[in-house]
Amino acid sequence: MIKKLDKLIIKAFIGPFFATFFIALFVLVMQFFWLYIDDLVGKGLDLPTLAYLTGLVAVNWVPLALPLALLLSSIMTFGNLGESFELVAIKSAGIPLLRFMQPLFITAILIAGISFLFANNIMPVAALKLNTLKYDIIVSKPAFDIKEGIFYDKIEGYVIKIGQKSKDGSTIKNVIIYEKNSGLQDNSLIAESGIMKVAPGNKLEFDLKNGWRYQEKGNRLSTNTEFIRLGFKEYKKILDLSSFKMNKTSDSAFSDNYKMLSVRQLSKTIDSLRSFGTYYEKRSYTDISPYFSFTKYADTGLMPVDPKSAANITNIKQ
């Protein structure tokens, strides 16, 4: 009967445990995205990158979701057993409370062991990957998006304004492109219409029509300068978009963080810090002691006092 009772409680526990585990994990993952929503939106992340990020976040929240699932599923298990009067039947059979709770105690110990192994071996690696990817996403530029009537300065060295853009996003009108350089002169392009498209190799191509190109040469502080105005019917301008590509940072940049270390690695780090502390303590004493003569002599005026004598002295003063 006892074995059947254990099987009954385990079966009643497994279903709610997995359900509450995935619900808790989902809530924790959504909490992460809600916290970093401003850093993720507008970065042009593709589906594989988002899936990889979600997986890393989920792995990092597993040790916290397990105890939540264990607590909620245990409450649900005994609630269901009490609702169906199975707890009353168990108590009437003379089985004590701690005895029919024993399967859940053993299950909780197993889950705690699994959680520790997971947090010690898998979670540090996932945390390292997550922090590296999160850093790359945060420091990356927003996705390329030029809007009508607004100056766009996210492309290094250029400021672009488009007066009108078609629904397909390629046909443009009233185009102005300012070229910023290290000198004082700013060259510019003005065109009535054109076609804008992203070419292979992270290139942005403008096929402009009916416009003018203005260019200055020489030092503005000097009188020997040259101003060029070039009219064109067709003009092709290519801009580099490689700066919008998300760069991948090496994992070694965050490998020294304590959250990325296992118990064994933390022990080694603590020993190293202690040895460094002892070394610098001795070195500081060696460097400072020549400048303070009193450190060379021991204070002989301090005498050990018996606790009873000290108590008597205190009573006399009172």
> Mean pLDDT highest for which of 22-26, 238-242, 260-264, 305-309?
22-26
- The answer to the question of residue 59 being in a domain is yes
Contact by Cβ (8 Å): 126, 59: yes
Q: Which amino acid is at 111?
A: I
In this structure, the answer to whether residues 180 and 117 fall within a common structural domain is no
Looking at the 3D structure of the chain, how many domains does it have? 2
- The answer to the question of residue 267 being in a domain is no
CA-CA distance, 198 to 173, in Å (whole number)?
Answer: 17
DSSP letters for 172-230:
EEEEEEEEE-SSS-EEEEEEEEEEEEEETTTEEEEEEEEEEEEEEES-TTSS--EEEEE
Q: Could you give phi then psi for residue 213, rounded to 5 degrees?
A: -120, 125
Last residue of a domain, one of 220, 244, 268: 244
Last residue of a domain, one of 106, 139, 172: 139
Please give the average per-residue pLDDT across 53-64, as a whole number.
Answer: 91
In this structure, the answer to whether residues 135 and 194 fall within a common structural domain is no
In this structure, the answer to whether residues 12 and 106 fall within a common structural domain is yes
For 117-126, what is each residue's pLDDT tens digit? 888 888 888 8
Contact by Cβ (8 Å): 141, 122: no
Using CA atoms of 112, 113, 119, 120 in order, give the dihedral in degrees to the nearest 10: 150
In this structure, the answer to whether residues 61 and 172 fall within a common structural domain is no
Model pLDDT, residue 270: 78
The number of C-alpha atoms within 13 Å of 8 and in the hemisphere containing its C-beta is 14
- The answer to the question of residue 304 being in a domain is no
In this structure, the answer to whether residues 234 and 133 fall within a common structural domain is no
Better-predicted residue by pLDDT, 210 or 306: 210
- The answer to the question of residue 126 being in a domain is yes
Edge-to-edge, what's the strand order for the sheet holding 203-217?
158-165, 171-180, 186-199, 203-217, 226-240
In this structure, the answer to whether residues 178 and 135 fall within a common structural domain is no
For 186-200, what is each residue's pLDDT tens digit? 788 888 888 888 777
What 3-8 contacts at long range (C-beta under 8 Å, 24+ apart), as own/partner pairs, is: 5/90, 5/95, 5/100, 6/102, 6/103, 8/86
In this structure, the answer to whether residues 120 and 165 fall within a common structural domain is no
Last residue of a domain, one of 210, 244, 278: 244
- The answer to the question of residue 272 being in a domain is no
Kind and range of the H or E element at 232? Answer: strand 226-240
- Smallest Cα–Cα separation from 207: which of 184, 227, 234? 234
Which segments of the chain does DSSP mark as H helices, in order?
A: 2-35, 37-40, 47-83, 86-92, 97-100, 102-117, 123-139, 263-288, 307-317
In this structure, the answer to whether residues 112 and 176 fall within a common structural domain is no
Q: In Å, what is the CA distance from 34 to each residue of 28, 89, 295?
A: 10, 47, 58
In this structure, the answer to whether residues 129 and 43 fall within a common structural domain is yes
Domain span holding position 229: 158-244
- Predicted TM-score (pTM) above 0.75: no
Residue length, the chain?
318
CA-CA distance, 308 to 297, in Å (whole number)?
Answer: 30
Strand partners, 211: 191, 232
Check pLDDT > 80 for residue 201: no
Q: In Å, what is the CA distance from 142 to each residue of 61, 101, 146, 149, 205?
A: 28, 55, 11, 19, 19
Strand partners, 216: 227
pLDDT band at 223 (very low <50, low <70, confident <90, very high): low
Coil/strand/helix, residue 157: coil
Model pLDDT, residue 318: 46
Model pLDDT, residue 132: 85
In this structure, the answer to whether residues 108 and 177 fall within a common structural domain is no
In this structure, the answer to whether residues 105 and 71 fall within a common structural domain is yes
Model pLDDT, residue 3: 78
- The answer to the question of residue 64 being in a domain is yes
- The answer to the question of residue 198 being in a domain is yes
- The answer to the question of residue 13 being in a domain is yes
In this structure, the answer to whether residues 36 and 131 fall within a common structural domain is yes
